[in-house]
Amino acid sequence: MKRAETALSTVVPYLLILLVAGLRLTVQHPANFIPIFSVLLYFGAVRRRRETIVPLIGLIAMDAFLTTQHYGYALSVDHAVTWIWYGAALLLGGALLSQASPWRAAATSLSTAVGFFVVSNFAVWALWQMYPRTGSGLVACYVAALPFFRNSAIAEVLSSVALFALAGIGRTQPSLARAHGVCQ
């Protein structure tokens, strides 16, 4: 059992980050149905804080590549919103460790998705010329993003529940806390 817990908390988080990055690079994901934030929450919950720089740098590099090479856009300030959110999800995952459960993970995942929706679409409205800089322009920006938000929120919540339930985070919490050096 201990060996399985070690593999689960050591190898699987990195494999999940690679899987999510690979899906973003290779697959046309219909309307944002890739659970990036739930994977980051899980990584943050089972790996040490100092290791979070690895997936953060990897996902930033992937976003920069996709934006500039695949989509042909220049990087802009609004990309920082996404990257900050990646970091926030990793840190929130670490905070989940003290009282983790699949339902707490789902609530945190949904909160992360809602927060990202609000902040990132505000950045699009404020920084791009796609919508008029009026209240109705802001509403139009949010309305246009709703289909993407719905699918993203569903993917995030379902994935968080599955990851944290399968990992048995609530049952193995003491051993994960020791792995993080939280308790002696």
Query: CB of 45 within 8 A of CB of 94?
Result: yes
Q: What is the pLDDT of residue 19?
A: 87
Q: Quick check: 28 pLDDT over 80? A: no
Q: Quick check: 184 pLDDT over 60? A: no
Average pLDDT, the chain: 84
Which of 11-20, 34-43, 134-143, 152-161 shows the highest mean pLDDT?
134-143
Which of these, 154, 34, 164, lies nearest to 93 by C-alpha position?
164
Pick 70 or 55 by higher pLDDT: 55
Structure tokens at 63: 């976003």
What does the alpha-carbon distance between residue 56 and residue 48 come to, in Å, rounded to a whole number? 13
Query: CB of 72 within 8 A of CB of 95?
Result: no
Pick 168 or 160 by higher pLDDT: 160
Instruction: Please compute, for residue 180, the number of CA atoms within 13 A of its CA located in the half-sphere on the CB side.
Output: 23
Pick 74 or 3 by higher pLDDT: 74
Ranking 4-13, 84-93, 104-113 by mean pLDDT, the lowest is 4-13
Spans of all domains in the chain: 2-179
Q: What is the pLDDT of residue 174?
A: 41
Provide mean pLDDT across the span 71-99: 88
Pick 166 or 116 by higher pLDDT: 116
Ranking 110-114, 119-123, 166-170 by mean pLDDT, the lowest is 166-170
Indicate the CATH number of 2-179 among 1.10.1760, 1.10.3470, 1.10.3680, 3.40.50. Answer: 1.10.1760
Q: How confident is the model at residue 103 (pLDDT cuts 50, 70, 90)?
A: confident
